[in-house]
């Protein structure tokens, strides 16, 4: 696989970061005692924290690609997938208004799909399979667009497209 161009690095890492930010928009909970405003504030904080953590891996990922170390680059993607899953789990524990459960369930499904795509991208990097990698990135971008639309419509900021715009990668 040849993902050694600087633009390629940023596209790849940008997809991970943006997918991660959109991904953690997936959230839910079993309680209906929380207000929508409380839920949004808590979820957006988790998204902001995740995005900050995710941006710290850019250098490690770029260095691995520059060195031709696809295994380390793949491990970075896997680490992001794990961190995304943890963030989803954290947000799922938040109280969500019962009238919003269907929307939140859709967020969750999209978020879990984005984790799967991130892991697919890691496998493609590890195997040097550019075609599979490109397909995973395209799938991730489509899922991100759906997640952003839901997040924005729900009122999330850091978990939606505004969070993508705040990212320093792209």
The pLDDT tens digits of the residues spanning 42-65 come to: 999 999 998 888 888 878 888 898
Q: Cα dihedral sign for 148, 54, 130, 120?
A: negative
Residues 6+ apart with CB under 8 A from 104: 26, 27, 28, 29, 96
Per-residue pLDDT, 33: 56
23: confidence class by pLDDT, cuts 50, 70, 90: very low
The reported pTM is 0.76
Length, in residues, of the chain: 170
Show me where the domains of the chain are located: 7-25+34-166
164: confidence class by pLDDT, cuts 50, 70, 90: low
Count of H-run helices and E-run strands, the chain: 7, 0
């Amino acid at each position: 696989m040849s993902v050694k161009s600087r633009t390629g690095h940023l596209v790849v890492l940008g997809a991970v970061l943006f997918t991660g930010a959109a991904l953690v928009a997936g959230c839910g909970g079993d309680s209906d005692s929380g207000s929508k405003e409380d839920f949004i504030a808590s979820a957006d904080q988790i998204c902001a924290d995740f995005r900050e953590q995710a941006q710290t891996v850019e250098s490690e990922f770029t260095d691995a690609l520059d060195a031709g170390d696809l295994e380390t680059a793949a491990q970075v993607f896997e680490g992001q997938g794990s961190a995304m899953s943890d963030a989803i789990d954290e947000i799922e524990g938040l109280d969500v208004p019962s009238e919003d459960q269907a929307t939140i369930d859709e967020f969750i499904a999209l978020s879990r799909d984005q984790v799967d795509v991130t892991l697919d991208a890691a496998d493609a990097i590890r195997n040097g399979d550019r075609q599979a990698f490109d397909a995973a990135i395209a799938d991730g971008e489509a899922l991100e667009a759906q997640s952003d639309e839901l997040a924005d419509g729900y009122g999330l900021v850091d978990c939606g497209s505004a969070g993508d715009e705040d990212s320093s990668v792209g």
